[in-house]
Every structure is written in C-alpha cells, then in structure tokens.
C-alpha cells in the first residue's frame, strides 16, 4: 500500500508559521504605523511641508486600510492568507520606495495610500484571520503568541528608525524599510505560509440551519463587539500619538516623559506573556473585561493627577496589550472558526477608520481643552468601554440561557 505525501501545511510546523508571522508583524508595524513618530519632523523640516499633513499621511493610510479590510477578510476566508500577506509586503515596500523618492507633498500622500493598502492586508487583523483560517478553533494560542511578537515592534523599530535617520536620512530610512519588506518579509510569506485549499463562496440562505455561534453571528452581539473594539482603538491610537504631549503638559520635562512613556511597551508584553500562560483556564471575554478595566484605571489615574504615574501607565499598557489578544480571540470564541477571517475583516473596518481619525480629534481636544480635558474625555470613553464589555458578557449569558432552554 502506498502512502500519499504529507501536505505542505503539515510540513510547515506550527512554530515556524507563528514565528514567521511574528517577525513579519514586527517588520510591518515598524515599516508603517510606527515610522512617522520618528521621521515626521525631519520630513517636514527638510521639505517645508506642514507637519500635520506629513503625519496625516498615516491617517489616510489607515483610512484606506479600513476601507479594504472587509475585502481582505473575505479573500483570506476563501483562499487563506499567504497571497494576501505577500501582497501586503509588496504594497508596503513599494509605498516606502514612493515615500523615499516623493518630490512633493502630493506624491508623499499618494505613497502613504499604497502603504495603507499594505497595512489593511498585513497588520494584526489580517494575521489573526490567517491563523484562524489555518488552525480553526485551535488558533487562540497562536494568536496570543503572535501578539507577544508584535508587542516588541515599537521597542525594536523606534531605535532602529532613529539610528537610520541619523545615518542615512529619512529617505534612506524609507528605502531600508522597503528592502526589508521586499527582500525579507515577502519571501518569508511565500516560503513559510502554506497554500490553502480554496473554499467556495457562501450563498445567502445556505447556512440558515447553522447555529448562531458558527458562521451566523448574532447581530446584537456583533454590534456591541464592534463598538467595544472601536472604542479601544480610538483610545490607544490617540494616546500613541499624544501621550508625550499630555505628560509634558502637566509640567514634565521631555526626557522624563519619554522615559515614562517607554513603560507602556514592556507592560504590554508582560500582560501578554501572563495571558499566554493562563489563557486555557478562562474564556476570552474575561481577557476583554480585564483589558478595558485596566485601560480605564490607567487613563482615569492620569486624569485624576495621581502622583504614581508609572503605575497608571503600567495599567494602561497592560490593558492595551490584552486588548490586542481579545481582538483576535474573542470573535473566534463567540462565533467559531467558520467565517472567522471574513468576520475579522468586517470588525476591522470601523476600528481602522476610527484609528485614522483619532489622532486629529485628539489634537483638537488638546488645542481646545488642554491635556487635562483630553484625559477627561478619554477617561469617559474608557469607562463607557467597561460598560460595553459588561453588556457584551451579559448578552452572551442571555444567549447561552436561551440555547439551553431550546434544547
């Protein structure tokens, strides 16, 4: 009797796939989302372009990412993530080349739109969808491990970007990141990620007999889940851009603000590491609830002017660290693996669009109400998110009770 050869998916170990995705996530975040924080002042001063427009390139890129995310999710659901993620590396790489050679502000913005295509097809949501498509219900631990890699993105890439900026200038920095995407990330995706067997498109009405948990999301739960994920994205996006300004607004020196702000990254990683060891013992809704609670404690403590600022930033960092895990694992636990990639694309759209608008809204709040008023607004949003998470948990219990009663 002859044995059939093992499939490519079996030949590629789980560890190799997760490690490859983890490394490429660090490269993708460092080449896109985290780059303007380092190079934007130099771009503005070298060319005389308004800083708001230089930084606004990222916002427009995030807007593009949000608009394409449903299509990205559907593509991953049908064909797997290999080609989509490879496309993302190509777009970020080509976009970085565009940034490096941009002769004027219009070309610079156009290049960010191309980078935005890459962000929509290659950051967390697409990577989570790829793992969910490949591993099904077993993707939870893979998603948690992946976020552990991603937590090092700013810690690794900000110093590298600063070094490159000093050595080769901002245009040279963009070319280096283009090479990273096109020469390292793109081949990694194509070599390590397996080809997936295509799934036929689901026709309307075909799955009416499928339980709501598998492939037919409860609309009320979907709305609350999307709302809480979007609120979390608004808070983290606003503070990622304006945290140093807010800390300096309270009378703190820049060096001290940078030192304290650096605590957020290690807090994220520490919280994710703890979650990775205990995840098997609880439902992801608990991860979500702890996440929003920690963010609310941290932001509210900053607003109240508590003297123990490192503790407040530690709570905030741990909260947003856990949020990344809940963003990927909670939809999987609520609705199952059938249609998970498509669902992640739908959930990503409002979050990414909100992330695109949040920095500008934060700047307006700072201009009108100052750091204290901005923190007050963010505290209100964080407390509202705690209420939403509680409502989500209550709605889950109600659904479980109704399912038990109908059996």
User: How many distinct helices (H) and strands (E) make up the chain?
Assistant: 16, 0
On the CB side of 108, CA atoms within 13 Å amount to 23
Position 105 scores a pLDDT of: 95
Round to whole Å and give the CA distance between 191 and 80.
14
Determine contact, residues 111/384, Cβ cutoff 8 Å.
no
Round to whole Å and give the CA distance between 85 and 118.
8
Position 209 scores a pLDDT of: 36
Position 53 scores a pLDDT of: 86
Phi/psi at 55 (5° precision): -70, -30
SS3 58: helix
Position 212 scores a pLDDT of: 43
What is the three-state SS of 244-313?
A: HHHHHHCCCCHHHHHHHHCCHHHHHHHHHHHHHHHHHHCCHHHHHHHHHHHHHHHHHHHHHCCCCHHHHH
Question: Torsion-angle region of residue 305: left (phi > 0), alpha (psi -120 to 50) or beta?
Answer: left
CA dist list (Å): 386 to 136, 170, 305:
29, 41, 21
Determine contact, residues 324/351, Cβ cutoff 8 Å.
no
Q: How far is CA 45 from the centre of its chain?
A: 30
Residue 236 tokens read as 């983290």
pLDDT in tens, 121-141: 998 889 989 998 888 888 888
Residue 318 tokens read as 């741990």
Phi/psi at 149 (5° precision): -60, -50
- Helix (H) / strand (E) element for 394: namely helix 340-406
Nearest to 244, CA basis, from 233, 236, 254, 230? 254
Position 254 scores a pLDDT of: 66
Report the greatest alpha carbon distance in the chain: 78
Nearest to 344, CA basis, from 130, 162, 160? 130
Q: How far is CA 303 from the centre of its chain?
A: 25
Determine contact, residues 165/34, Cβ cutoff 8 Å.
no
CA dist list (Å): 172 to 33, 39, 167:
18, 11, 8
Name the pTM for this structure.
0.80
Walk along the chain (407 residues) and give the pLDDT tens digit of each residue: 344 444 444 446 888 888 999 999 999 998 898 888 788 888 988 999 988 888 888 889 999 999 999 999 999 988 888 999 999 999 999 999 999 999 999 999 999 999 999 999 998 889 989 998 888 888 888 888 888 888 778 778 878 888 898 899 999 999 999 999 999 999 999 998 888 766 665 554 434 334 444 545 678 888 999 999 999 999 988 887 788 778 877 777 767 777 777 778 788 888 988 988 888 888 889 999 999 999 999 999 989 876 788 898 999 999 999 998 898 888 888 888 888 888 888 888 898 889 888 888 888 888 888 888 999 999 999 999 999 999 888 888 777 666 655 55
| Angle ∠(282,395,130) on CA atoms, nearest 5 | 55
- Give the number of other CB atoms < 10 A from CB of residue 277: 9
Return all residues near 217 (Cβ < 8 A) that are at least 6 apart: 334, 335, 343
Determine contact, residues 268/284, Cβ cutoff 8 Å.
no
On the CB side of 117, CA atoms within 13 Å amount to 17
Determine contact, residues 9/81, Cβ cutoff 8 Å.
no
Token pair 């199952």 in the structure block, residue: 336
């Amino acid at each position: 009797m002859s044995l059939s050869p093992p499939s490519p998916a079996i030949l590629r170990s789980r560890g190799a796939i997760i490690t490859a995705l983890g490394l490429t996530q660090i490269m993708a975040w460092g080449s896109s989302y985290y780059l303007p924080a380092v190079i934007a002042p130099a771009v503005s001063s070298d060319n005389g372009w308004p800083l708001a427009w230089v930084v606004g390139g990222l916002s427009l890129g995030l807007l593009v990412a949000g608009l394409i995310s449903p299509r990205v999710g559907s593509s991953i659901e049908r064909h797997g993530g290999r080609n989509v993620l490879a496309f993302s590396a190509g777009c970020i790489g080509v976009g970085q080349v565009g940034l490096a050679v941009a002769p004027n502000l219009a070309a610079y913005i156009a290049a960010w739109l191309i980078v935005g295509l890459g962000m929509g097809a290659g950051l967390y949501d697409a990577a989570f969808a790829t793992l969910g498509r490949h591993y099904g219900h077993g993707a939870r631990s893979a998603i948690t491990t992946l976020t552990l890699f991603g937590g090092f993105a700013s810690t690794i890439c900000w110093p590298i970007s600063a070094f490159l900026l000093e050595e080769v200038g901002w245009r040279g920095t963009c070319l280096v990141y283009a090479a990273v995407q096109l020469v390292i990330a793109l081949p990694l995706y194509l070599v390590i990620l397996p080809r997936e067997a295509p799934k036929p498109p689901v026709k309307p009405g075909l799955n009416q007999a499928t339980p709501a948990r598998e492939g037919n999301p409860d609309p009320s739960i979907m709305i609350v889940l999307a709302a809480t994920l979007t609120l979390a994205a608004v808070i983290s996006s606003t503070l990622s851009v304006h945290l140093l300004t807010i800390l300096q607004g309270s009378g703190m020196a820049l060096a001290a603000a940078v030192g304290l702000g650096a605590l957020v990254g290690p807090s994220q990683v520490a919280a994710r590491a703890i979650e990775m060891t205990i995840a098997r013992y609880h439902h992801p809704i608990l991860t979500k609830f702890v996440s929003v609670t920690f963010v609310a404690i941290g932001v509210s403590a900053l607003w109240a002017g508590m003297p123990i600022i490192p503790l407040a930033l530690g709570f905030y960092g741990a909260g947003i660290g856990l949020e990344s895990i809940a963003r990927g694992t909670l939809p999987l636990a609520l609705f199952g693996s059938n249609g998970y990639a498509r669902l992640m694309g739908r959930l990503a759209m409002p979050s990414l669009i909100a992330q695109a608008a949040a920095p500008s809204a934060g700047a307006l709040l700072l201009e009108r109400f100052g750091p204290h008023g901005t923190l007050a607004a963010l505290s209100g949003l964080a407390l509202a998110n705690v209420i939403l998470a509680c409502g989500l948990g209550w709605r889950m219990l109600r659904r479980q009770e109704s399912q038990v009663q109908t059996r």
